[in-house]
Structure 1
Amino acid sequence: GEDDKKVEVTLGRVLSRQPGIVGRNTCVVGATSEHDEWKGKELVVKVSWPATSRKSETEFVITAREKARSMPEGKRPDWALDHLPDILLSQDFNHGADSTQANLVAFFAKAMFAEAEKFEYEKRICRITVQERLYPLEELRTVQEYAQVFFDILQIHKWLYDHPGILHRDISPGNIMWRRTVDGHLRGVLNDFDLSAYRHETGPSSRQRTGTLPYMAFELLINDENGHPPKHLYRHDVESIFYVILLLCCRYEVVANQDLDGRPILE
């Protein structure tokens, strides 16, 4: 951390893993810690390999949470905090000059046996974050709870765009999560800001198309006449939210089955 304190966490069960040859290959593991400020909290450790050209997820979350705390006085001016993730620690691990990644960069630059074609290897960094554990959509129990979560997601998504000026750009079922407050109220949480951008920014932040393919707006799947994908806009994220709702309504129903931990699941 920033204060260079040693922090130990105990890893538990793998909660999610994103397989793939190209991409962030995100792995999320349940965790606990005896660290004074974290003791008794349900935590997760997230290990991912984002492109070095992208801003850190932690930057976006800190910016949003600071903006929420500084909103003008009124009824619950900091309501947005209930709908944002809480990142406790984030650390990046760079690659050495003789690392596999550095060698791949040199290998692709030579483009041997490629008939004069040039390949650009996208540099990535290993990023490990510790944050409060959130819960997935499939663990909700009733239709009313689903409605509440999606209402919250639409509200916080609009707030992020209007106030800190952040566009999420990766709406998918895995990034729409929830928590319960200390008084037991359900709150939808928009999670995973790895692919986010500030709304005033133009141009791509990576060589890979931004988003989760099955939920991306149709317009984003078609390149312009120069072969470039269109700029990601607010309405594209809203279209992605619609696709998530459509999938849930058409493909799943809430049933009484339980997972290994005894929680209800979607089938």
Structure 2
Amino acid sequence: MEDFEKFAAIMVAFACGQPKHWGALPDIISPPPSARYPASFPPPSLKGHNLQMVLPDTEEQVKVTMGKPIFTQYGLVGRRTFLYQIKTNPVVAQTPLVIKFSYQVVTRRREQDLVEVACKAGVKHIPKVHMWRDLWKLSDGARAIFHGNNKDAYEDRMLRALVYTRYLPLKALFRTAWHLIPHMAEQILDCLHDLRYKANILHQDISNNNIMFEIQDGVVNFILIDFDMATMVDSAGGLLAAPSSKYRTGTLPFMAYELLGDMAQSTSSEHQRIVHRLRHDFESLFYLCLYCIFTMVEVDDAKIKADMTKELREWEEQTYSSIASNKQYFCTDIERMGTLVLPVPCEVLRPWFYGWVTVFQRAVSTMSNYKNQVRLAQWYKDESSSSFDIDTLQGTITRDKIKQSLGFFYDRPLAPEDLQVANIPGLGKKIEAYMDDDEDLAEEDEHVQGQSVVAKKAKPPRKPRSTTKVKKVEVAKKKTVPKTVVASKKTTTAELVSPIRKQPQKPKRGLRTLAAATRSMTTRSMQKGPLAKAK
């Protein structure tokens, strides 16, 4: 070795580096105080890590401690979104919460600001945001040293933390209750319409991970989350500001064919970017409904599974121009929809999808006629121009037109009682499986309901006077595991709030690695390759 001293100095510098020096974590996120850190580097999980946040209404300091991961996304380009279950001290809400970290483009409007605008406008089916904090900018690190004030050298992003109510993934519902897919479309159509016309907001990223559900008064209620990519528009649907990101927003399998075709042509310096509009979000919702059938419905027939997987690959694994052509043919041709392979029970939904295709057919025809008129006017140098509603394609793609077409082809009424949990067999147990709190986190943080929680050494009940009462106590023990809250020398029993009544507690599972944990929670849109994120 020519320069051992230099090599040794570098090794010592590496050994002395803190997480922030390695680019792993900002100082704001603290490791577990009880554990030697780092046991391995980088840490495989942020479980047990904590940070301080502030309640916006009271400005009260809140300690947020992270539990097991819910969603993790890796990538050199994009937001690098990851979610964790959390505990808060003091308690922030009587429902389970999650914290979402993502690197957002600094020029974009903050997600919590857009949600607040939508909430004040009376838009329903949007998430409840509790706290937020800006943590660290890329330009605060080494990029500022190497690139200085050259803003074109890289896309500056802010690591932001957002705490909101924890919702449930669609796969927990549609595995067996696929008949509720039209109900989901109904609610999200209303949400997207109201976002656009009441709050002047476009969501721009409809996908399987961005629509979830909750149980509200015993009824399924769908929620549109993740407003990272949302933007404000004017009354005509045009963007109020130029696109703030270098990359087109959206998740590849759900992107509208017009936007995919635009991405295929974006290499040209003279190319004028197509504006994302509400009709593109409606089209993404159509693809999502099919995606739910292809990937979430329980299917035993191996051939049907293989055919549906092959169909999905045509949305994912080809060039942008090929995917755009396939999608345009797919969503505008009734005969193509008639030959689409669906699970046998889901055949009853085929007429409902005919309703979607009919709307898109009319819209394409209207757009084609308009383009022909423009070309003829240019050919004959006719300067007189007639107005054309590019946002809705002359009113052919609107919420009301879509609902009207769906109702015409699908004669089964969308009854409100279909959404009642009591009428959905097995849903209660599935919800409990997803909403179980992280028991290890409860031991580390020991703060629930604003008080110390004794999870393992609960104070035993007093001995009943009769044997009948003893039996009742034993039965009660089997049904529930009470958690006791210690407060001012008194021990009382408190139950964590859950969307439904608590089911019998499951036995503890063995320790799992982060890879195994995230693998079990991974959907196709989180896997590398088949469903890559297109930004």
Task: Place the TM-score, normalised by the shorter chain, in its bin.
Answer: 0.7 to 0.9
- Cross-structure match for 1:137: 170
- Once the two structures are aligned, what percentage of the paired residues are identical? 31
Point out the more displaced range, 129-138 or 1-10: 1-10
Match of 2:257 in 1: 218
Where does 1:133-212 land on structure 2 (aligned, <5 Å)? 133-140=166-173, 141-181=176-216, 183-200=217-234, 201-212=240-251
Between the aligned partners of 1:88 and 1:95, the Cα distance in structure 2 is: 22
Cα distance in 2 between the residues matched to 1:227 and 1:173: 31
Match of 1:113 in 2: none
| Cα offset, 1:164, TM superposition | 0.6
Contact 2:98 2:163 in 1 (8 A): yes
Cα distance 1:129–1:105, how it changes in 2: closer, same or farther (>3 A)?
Answer: farther
Superposed, 1:79-94 pairs within 5 Å as 80-81=123-124, 83-94=125-136
TM-score normalised by length of structure 2 = 0.42
- Indicate yes or no: 2:168 matched with 1:126: no
Of residues 102, 106, 112, the one that matches 2:148 is: 106
RMSD: 2.8
What is the rounded CA distance, in whole Å, between the counterparts of 1:49 and 1:166 in structure 2?
Answer: 21
Distance of 1:98 and 1:174 partners within structure 2: 30
Cα deviation 1:51-88 (Å, max 9, x = unaligned)? 101110101100111111xxxxxxxxxxx44x110110
* Number of residue pairs aligned between Structure 1 and Structure 2: 242
Give 1:43 shift.
Answer: 0.2
Partner of 1:76: none
Match of 1:46 among 91, 96, 100: 100
How many angstroms apart in 2 are the aligned matches of 1:84 and 1:188?
Answer: 9
Which residue is equivalent to 1:77?
none
Q: 1:238 aligns with which of 266, 282, 294?
A: 282
Distance 2:169 2:157 in 1: 27
Tell me, in whole angstroms, the C-alpha distance in 1 between the residues paired with 2:286 and 2:148: 43
- 1:76-135 Cα deviation digits (max 9, x unpaired): xxxx44x1101101111244876224235439x4xxxxxxxx963000001001110011
Higher strand share: 1
Closer, same or farther in 2 for the Cα pair 1:19/1:202, shift >3 Å?
same
State whether structure 2 residue 72 is matched by structure 1 residue 17.
yes
Letter in 2 for 1:187: N
Write out per-residue CA displacement over residues 220-244 of structure 1, whole angstroms, 9 at most, x where no aligned residue: 1224662343110111111111111
- Between the aligned partners of 1:86 and 1:172, the Cα distance in structure 2 is 19
* Unaligned 5+ runs, structure 2: 1-53, 235-239, 300-425, 435-520, 525-535
Letter of the 1:199 counterpart: V
Equivalent residue for 2:63?
8
Match of 1:210, as an amino acid?
T
Q: CA 1:97–1:153 in structure 2 vs 1: closer, same or farther (change >3 Å)?
A: closer
Looking at structure 1, the residues matched to 130 and 62 of structure 2 have their Cα atoms a distance apart, in angstroms, of 11
Higher Cα Rg: structure 1 or 2? 2
Aligned pair in 2 of structure 1 residues 95, 249: CA closer, same or farther (>3 Å)?
Answer: closer
- Report the Cα offset of residue 203 of structure 1: 2.7
Find the aligned partners of 2:201 and 2:120 in 1 and give their Cα distance: 13
| Structure 1 residue 29: Cα displacement | 0.6
- Normalising by structure 1, we get a TM-score of 0.81
* Structure 1 residue 47: Cα displacement: 0.6
Q: CA separation of 1:98/1:9 partners in 2, compared to 1, >3 Å: closer, same or farther?
A: closer
In the alignment, which residue of structure 2 is the partner of 1:30? 85
Judged with a 3 Å threshold, the aligned counterparts in structure 2 of structure 1 residues 262 and 86 are, in CA distance, closer, same or farther, namely: closer
Asked if structure 2 preserves the Cα contact closer than 8 Å seen for 1:92 and 1:127, the reply is yes
Higher share in helix: 2
Deviations 1:184-234 (A, max 9, x none): 111111110000011222531211111112211111122466234311011
* Inter-partner Cα distance in structure 1 for 2:226 and 2:86: 18
Given candidates 297, 319, 322, the residue that maps to 1:253 is 297
Question: Do structure 1's residue 59 and structure 2's residue 113 form an aligned pair?
Answer: yes
Preserved contact between residue 178 and residue 293 of structure 2 (Cα < 8 Å): no
Q: In the alignment, residue 169 of structure 2 is paired with which amino acid?
A: P
**For 1:245 and 1:235, how far apart are their aligned partners in 2?**
16
> Could you say if the C-alpha distance between residues 20 and 262 of structure 1 is closer, same or farther in structure 2, counting changes exceeding 3 Å?
same
The list of structure 1 runs, each at least 4 consecutive aligned residues, that deviate by more than 4 angstroms after superposition, is none
- Displacement of 1:144 in angstroms is 3.1
Alpha-carbon distance in structure 2 between the residues aligned to 1:206 and 1:233? 17
The aligned residue for residue 227 of structure 1 is 271
Q: Greater shift after overlay, 200-209 or 219-228? A: 219-228
Q: Distance in 2 between matches of 1:159 and 1:44?
A: 26
